[in-house]
Structure 1
Amino acid sequence: MEVSGKRKPKKTLSLSRGSAEDFLLFCIPCDRDGVRVPAKGYCLTCTEHLCDTCYKHHKKQTPSRHHILLDQDSMPTTPSVPIVKDEFDSCDDHEDEKLKFYCRDHDIVVCSICTTLDHRTCNVEYIPKLSKYIIDSEELNETMTEMKALEDNYKSQIKRVKDEIKAISQNHDDVIKAIRQFRKELNTRLDKMEKRVVKEADNILLKQTTNLNDLSMEVQTITNELVEKQVRLHKLMQKNRLDKLFVEMIDAKKRLEDMRVRQKQHSLTDDFQTVSFVKNMYIVDVIDRHQKLGELITMNTSMVIQYTDKTLKLEVVEDINSSSLGEKISDITGMDVLQSDKMVVCEFSKRKVKCFDTVQMRIISEIQLSKSPFDSAAITNDKFVVTVPDERSIHFMSLTNRQITSDLHVNINERCHGIACSRDKIVVSCIAVPGKVLVLSGRG
């Protein structure tokens, strides 16, 4: 019997939301109401899985009875995703219209007015119809894959940037450490130089002090002898011993003459010399001229060849031999590249320097020397330097209007062989005992 004013509680379903482990395919309409029920069919029109009850109602209800349904044996085996009705954006040109159409020809989304006005002849499709199968489409998968790949690429680039910043910071610390280490080395060298000159000054002081002490002792000895002689003469005078006084006087006169000579020999003006310190102006000039401890050289790290194996395999991309040059070349001892298509070679036995065009594959110019050239190095795109061991010299040459000319040669008094140029320095290796490397810097 019902009690007036009270309502019976509504019956609730005992089946609650299950976990993904209970069943993978479930009814989407029931899931919206908070109940998860196993799927027994699928609606292609709604793209939703349905339970047995919703499947039956789907056939009977007027809005959905013409939908295409698949039974449990034919339905998709992957979970369906509930379709959310999106709010379309408004068109920029027609504010009251929504961007519901896609122009395949122009690859843009448009509104109905844009379609009528600007895309009447284009292949225009309705977006809600196209989007039904977008989730499983190859185009979406490709787009997502490309975006993921690009994302990974950017993440990798961010990591490389961070690693580069770390490397730059470490490089900075290494540079500062090298600068301060060089300063310590300079201090050590200066300390040694200071010790040498101080020791030299100490030795001079010791020598002069020793000489003056010896002089003082000698003078003191003579003074004592003079005093003693005077005392003896006074005593003999007082005792009136005239004969003895005469003899002592004669002896004193002889000693006086000897003492005068010794006094001149030990004169202070002859023995004592002042010492002064003269600065090494070469050191001062170097410091004033350079004004810094050294130079900072930047290198492009991407140009460094990195490899993990102990053996680096190189591929021959072009083989230039004497037959390709159209003439026989007996021996090439040195070479360097002047320009991208010009190469300078030293033909030792024929005493020639030749310029080879790598595009035309022929010798375009040569110059005969009195002695055999050994090696060459490019200074600029049109200037280079050549070593001539038997002359003990290096030749400065130019390539002007495709002709080699000798500008000047410099004697270095060494049998020079290998040569290289870096900035404003020329480095030459010489055969000597012991072997040596010369670093030359020219100032015009």
Structure 2
Amino acid sequence: MATSREIDTDFLSDEIFDVLCSMCKNRGKNTDGEKFCVDCHDYFCINCVEVHSQVPVCVNHKVLDLSQVKSGTNKDLPRAPTERCDRHHHKYIDMYCHNHDDVGCSICMTIDHRSCKDIFYIPEFIQNKSYQVASREIQTRLKALAMTFNVQANKLSQDKHKLLKRKEELLDDIRKLRQEINDQLDMLEKRSVDEIEYKFKLFEGKIKDHLKQLQALKSKVPSANDKLASPHLNQAELFVHVKMAKNVESDANKCIEDISMNVTVSDIEFQPDRNLLHCLKQNKTIGMLTEKTVKTDDLLQITGGQSYCVKVMSDENECSITSACYMENGTIILADYNNNKLKRLDSHNYTITGCYNLPGKPYQICKIHETQVAVTLPSQQEIHFISVDRKMKRTKKIGTDFYCYGLAYANNHLYIFK
């Protein structure tokens, strides 16, 4: 039975032992027991034993002074457990199932261990079997568990903090995406408005031109008609006025025909892009939330490390290795960013066996052949192909229209990343 102090839990020992008052213990207090009830198998302090004696059913119980139990005058008196069952609070944990190495009250044994053969009454079992409880070993394990709980609690607290931080980052990503969508929609709206403004400006210009033509023809028609109606015309004059009148008539009819062919206001419509609306309606969200499962067993772990000097005499700056590439001949090609060099490192003795000067700062190396590598020079917007067979030399280079940083080679294809 555990108390707030370290005690000897050898139930068969005749040495002095400490016990707690059962009634005080049930109330969360640690009070030393000074009396023992043979019938109840409980220990009581001075105050609680008086309460116990006043209970009608306990009046005739045999109560012993604790010194009688310690002195061994009642060795036949079993040390009865005082821990009550969590499931059956009116019962004590006084039964032991040897088959399952588990303890419980009599009701627990009846329910959970009815098929077990080796069930014992604990006081008799520990007396007959000379059973000793290895409490110190268990206490050590429990302390280790308590420390583990603290570590796990701290880890969970950190995970919660990271989780909340990640949540805010994801929400911020959603807000940024929404802003990008809004900006794109604003741009589409502006283009549509500009198109309408342009079209209507053309229509308005045509209407103004037709009005000018009508105004000009409006004055010509009456004038031509008056000239034809004059009674003092000779044949030549009449001929001329008739031809001129026909020209006026032709111009007027053509103008009227052009006006009738114009697009009217009722013919102008705006046709929305239904595909855009359909796409927005089809999506339930503006993005997908994915979870990456990382198996810790599959992660690489560093088991050791060693520092090596890769500086050569011609280096003017401190070495800064931004990338490395392992070749099949056992050498490692290093990219020295600060010194604008590729360096060949012997992987057996970790010494530099060769260098190649580049026109810019190398960022990443990628193996593309048994004896050839590609290296990016972002500031030059170039990719250089270097033969590293014996003496390192450039075989070719390609230019890009962007700052290239990443390289990958697979299936005879070189992939370039911005």
> TM-score w.r.t. structure 2 length?
0.49
Higher relative contact order structure (alpha carbons within 8 Å, sequence separation ≥ 6): 2
**Larger Rg, first or second structure (1 or 2):** 1
